[in-house]
Amino acid sequence: MDRLEPIAAANQFVKKHFPDCDGALLSGSVVRGEETSTSDLDLVIFDQNVKSSYRESLHEFGWPIEIFVHNLHFYKYFFEDDCKQAKPSLPRMVSEGIIIKDNEIIHEIKNEAKIILENGPEKWTEETIQLKRYFITDALMGFKGCDNRAEALFIANTLADLISEFVLRTNRKWIGTSKWVVRSLKQYDEDFANEFVEAFDHFYITNDKSKIIRLGDIVLQSYGGPLFEGFSLGKN
């Protein structure tokens, strides 16, 4: 069948599959105006009659559709769990979502999500900062000395995760995975995000490690520089 417009498809889907739900939101890339030819529809459903939260993928009305179904109690657990991981997937989906159906519950839940996002993740302890400094230092040392292209590629991937996490978490900003790494960095500091992407892109194209090494050194310098000698974990 022909692909319906996103909101029309979301409305039809909810009416067909969740006619008695308490609320529904359309979220994701189509809401942000970032959809591509492979984008799906993300639907968050609230239904007090479901016993447990679940996720399901389907294909209807010309769209791949992912649904995230919660009752009016357990969604709070997912809000809390996302906060612990500093990856606010569900709060972000709820906050940005377009209301498809509402039995006078959605605005309160959206407000909960907005407050979570505005407050940011829990502040890292000094112990955690030192641990992460050590991990970045260790990866940088391995990267500098690595002359195996295949191995260096994957050390670079590790550094991308470690450095982005360190910058965001030490500034009490949310982190992400996959495409949300860059999006989270841009939300924090677009200039740094561009420098970050350019450093890794330069290495992947030219095999020149210098920009990644410089980036890592600069990030560490704000917290005392590299940490190796004297670091200890688990020693009594």
Report the C-alpha dihedral over residues 184, 189, 190, 196, rounded to 10 degrees: -80
Query: Among 231, 10, 42, which Cα is nearest to 141's?
Result: 231
With 70 as the cut, is the pLDDT of residue 236 above it? Answer: no
pLDDT grade for 33, boundaries at 50, 70 and 90 = confident
Going by C-beta distance under 8 Å and a sequence separation of 6 or more, which residues neighbour residue 42? 26, 27, 28, 66, 68, 93
Going by their DSSP bridges, the two strands 98-102 and 54-60 should be labelled as: unpaired
Residue whose C-alpha is closest to residue 23's, from 82, 97, 79: 97
Please answer whether residues 21 and 47 qualify as being in contact, where contact means their C-beta atoms are separated by less than 8 angstroms: yes
116, containing H or E segment = helix 106-119
pLDDT at 4 over 70: yes
Q: What is the pLDDT of residues 107-156, one digit of tens each?
A: 999 999 999 999 999 999 999 999 999 999 999 999 999 999 999 999 99
In sequence order, the β-bridge partners of residue 63 are: 60
Q: Is the pTM of this model over 0.85?
A: yes
Counting Cα atoms < 13 Å in the Cβ hemisphere of 159 gives: 29
pLDDT tens for residues 67-123? 999 999 999 999 999 999 999 999 999 999 999 999 999 999 999 999 999 999 999
Q: Cα(216)–Cα(165) distance, rounded to whole angstroms?
A: 12
In a 10 Å sphere around its CB, with 0-12 CB exposed, 13-18 middle and 19+ buried, how is residue 169 labelled? Answer: buried
Domains, the chain: 6-119 (3.30.460.10), 126-221 (no CATH)
How far apart, in whole angstroms, are the C-alpha atoms of residue 212 and residue 18? 49
